[in-house]
Amino acid sequence: MERITSVQNPKVKRAVRLMSSARARREEGAFVLEGLRLCLDVPRSGLTAETVFVTDELLARHGDELEPLLACAEEAFLVPEHVAERLSDTRNPQGVFCVCPSLDKQTGRNKMKQMDAAGKYLLLENVQDPANLGAISRTAEALGLTGLFVSGGCDVTGPKALRASMGALLRLPVLMTDNVTETIQQAEKSGIKTFASTPDQTALPIASADFRGGVLVVVGNEANGVTEETLACCQTRITIPMSGRAESLNAGAAASILMWEMVRPYETS
Amino acid sequence: MERITSVQNPKVKRAVRLMSSARARREEGAFVLEGLRLCLDVPRSGLTAETVFVTDELLARHGDELEPLLACAEEAFLVPEHVAERLSDTRNPQGVFCVCPSLDKQTGRNKMKQMDAAGKYLLLENVQDPANLGAISRTAEALGLTGLFVSGGCDVTGPKALRASMGALLRLPVLMTDNVTETIQQAEKSGIKTFASTPDQTALPIASADFRGGVLVVVGNEANGVTEETLACCQTRITIPMSGRAESLNAGAAASILMWEMVRPYETS
């Protein structure tokens, strides 16, 4: 394996740029994964890698595990600790990094044309905190949601979001959308019921909503909630009943409860 | 108002110690709140303060709002920015800090003798992440839980937990317990049903559990879950059904879903 020893190497500089800038990721159509767990998800998820960087130490300890990753990469380089530190988004880098072509290029998932009429979808509108986005996608995957729409807010291929998602953002169907109204209309045309969540306690309590069949639920920005335009566009406004003292649930907690209610089995008695 | 200008002042040093050390909080029976929102919760929650530190700038901008806090404090000092920076747990301090006697001293809540036979309680066993603890307490308050038991794990009066709780940890009945088995037995004696949550998918799915009446649910440590001893001690093991790909829900998401299911209205049809 070739060795790169300078942080000035153009491949290293590109990876650093992709790691730190959502704009660079968008313009160059690539993103970076860091850490053994996320990098090993690349071959497991049937994705490919452009460039892998790995430290001597990590390769010595985890060579066998890294085999499938190195096999699916176009190129791989050994790097010393100081290059790993430069590449890393964390304080204690594990020592493996993987530059991947953007997920739309690889999976064409941004070109999803048809929604599943019986699917369960969550739409995140302007969610700002990558840790929230990551945690919500992890819960969405665990609960078996059909897919996640993301409009505005933070980048789904940013390092913090990917880390918090434990790789769920690589595996779950995730669709970026610039036009929430259009997505909602498309869902309704596919026979999917659309709901906007709001802290407004006069909305329909979620336990009274009928989530059978195809459902799309919108969760809004942490501070401002779902936009007026989107509230107006959805068929039903729903709310999680609250007992008063707290002003609202945080976006992650609200999304968890909403997703659970979407997939919760109906009593048959 | 008197002025303190040195970070070497013993009152400042004490506050810094209380801010940074759970052990100091335990030994000295006091803790520190930072920021306008949390500090203003002190008089609102009927608590008292020992010492308030406030910057000239914040006092000039928020003097009226700070009135009730200053009124409930034994002493208050003006401090310059560099002292505020030394006191602060955050990168951009707002400029107000409040040293309070521990909540057991103030509210005697650690001496709760009787549990409510119809109450809804969550017990957190060894939850390590203060952000998780804070977020869970915020959700518990919003959903109207009766109280929170905390055993091991992180300190409920640490700055990160308090901040993530948006003050819920000051308002919600929170009981520290060293002996989970004893707490569970006490709950059962009070006629409360006890449940341990586990990712083990052979346990009872939460939608099939009967959460009517008094309920106590145990949520375990982020990595290791509920201890074997506690699992054995609860009446029922429950689980959130998962669809496979993700290994588990994170503790915050699982706790949100569990608490919602505990308070969710039963269908009457």
Contact B71, B136 (CB under 8 A): no
What number is the ipTM of this complex?
Answer: 0.88
Which of chain B's residues have a Cβ under 8 Å away from the Cβ of A246?
138, 141-142, 166, 168
- What is residue A92's predicted lDDT score, i.e. its pLDDT? 86
Which of chain A's residues have a Cβ under 8 Å away from the Cβ of B241?
265
Label residue A269 by pLDDT band (50, 70, 90): very low
- CA dihedral A106→A112→A118→A124, nearest 10 degrees, is 80
In terms of residues, how long is chain B?
A: 269
Number of helices (H), then strands (E), belonging to chain B: the values are 12, 12
- What is residue B90's predicted lDDT score, i.e. its pLDDT? 86
Q: How far is CA A178 from CA A123, A160, A182, B161, in A?
A: 12, 22, 9, 36
- What is residue B11's predicted lDDT score, i.e. its pLDDT? 96
CA atoms within 13 A on the CB side of B223: 3
Phi and psi at residue A103, to the nearest 5°: -65, -30
Residue of A nearest to B258 (CA): A257
B166–A245 C-beta distance less than 8 A: no
**What is the Cα–Cα distance from B258 to B217, expressed in whole angstroms?**
8
Taking alpha carbons only, the member of A67, A74, A90 closest to residue A11 is A74
For tokens 């100081």, name the residue: A82
Sign of CA dihedral B7, B11, B17, B19: negative
Taking alpha carbons only, the member of A114, A113, A117, A121 closest to residue A137 is A121
Token pair belonging to B1: 């108002």
Whether the pLDDT of residue A82 is over 80: the answer is yes
Residue of B nearest to A132 (CA): B253
List the single residue in B139, B168, B246 with the smallest CB-CB distance to A168. B246
Q: Percent of chain A having pLDDT more than 90?
A: 78
Taking alpha carbons only, the member of A212, A200, A220, A252 closest to residue B254 is A252
A139–B243 C-beta distance less than 8 A: no
Span A171-213, pLDDT tens digits = 888 888 889 999 999 999 999 999 999 999 999 999 999 999 9
Compute how many other C-beta atoms are within 10 angstroms of the C-beta atom of residue B25: 20
Which of chain A's residues have a Cβ under 8 Å away from the Cβ of B248?
142
Which of chain B's residues have a Cβ under 8 Å away from the Cβ of A247?
166
Buried-state track B160-179, b at ≥16 Cβ within 10 A, e below 16: bbbbbbbbbbbbbbbbbbee
B249–A142 C-beta distance less than 8 A: yes
Three-state DSSP at B128 gives: coil
State the average pLDDT for chain B: 91
Q: Edge to edge, what strands does the sheet with A204-205 contain?
A: A174-176, A147-151, A120-125, A215-219, A193-197, A236-239, A204-205
Residue of A nearest to B252 (CA): A253
Q: Which of B137, B170, B240, B256 to mutate to test the interface with A (most CBs of A within 10 A)?
A: B256
Span of A55-69, A136-150, A243-257, B208-222 with lowest mean pLDDT: A243-257
Compute how many other C-beta atoms are within 10 angstroms of the C-beta atom of residue B208: 10
List the single residue in A171, A240, A250 with the smallest CB-CB distance to B135. A250
List the single residue in A138, A207, A253 with the smallest CB-CB distance to B256. A253
Whether the pLDDT of residue A268 is over 60: the answer is no
For tokens 């301090």, name the residue: B93
B138–A249 C-beta distance less than 8 A: yes
CA distance A222 to chain B (A): 13
- CA dihedral A264→B223→B159→B21, nearest 10 degrees, is 160
Q: Which of A249, A259, A262, A267 to mutate to test the interface with B (most CBs of B within 10 A)?
A: A249
Span A203-230, pLDDT tens digits = 999 999 999 999 999 999 988 999 999 9
CA distance B17 to chain A (A): 25
pLDDT average, residue stretch A142-165: 92
A138–B249 C-beta distance less than 8 A: yes
Which of chain A's residues have a Cβ under 8 Å away from the Cβ of B243?
141-144
List the single residue in B144, B207, B247 with the smallest CB-CB distance to A265. B207
Compute how many other C-beta atoms are within 10 angstroms of the C-beta atom of residue B101: 17
Token pair belonging to B265: 């209205």
B260–A260 C-beta distance less than 8 A: yes
Contact B230, A210 (CB under 8 A): no
Which of chain A's residues have a Cβ under 8 Å away from the Cβ of B223?
none
Residue of A nearest to B266 (CA): A207
Whether the pLDDT of residue A106 is over 80: the answer is no
Residue of B nearest to A44 (CA): B245
CA distance A186 to chain B (A): 26
Q: What share of chain A is helix, strand, coil (3-state, %, to 5)?
A: 40, 20, 35
- What is residue A196's predicted lDDT score, i.e. its pLDDT? 98
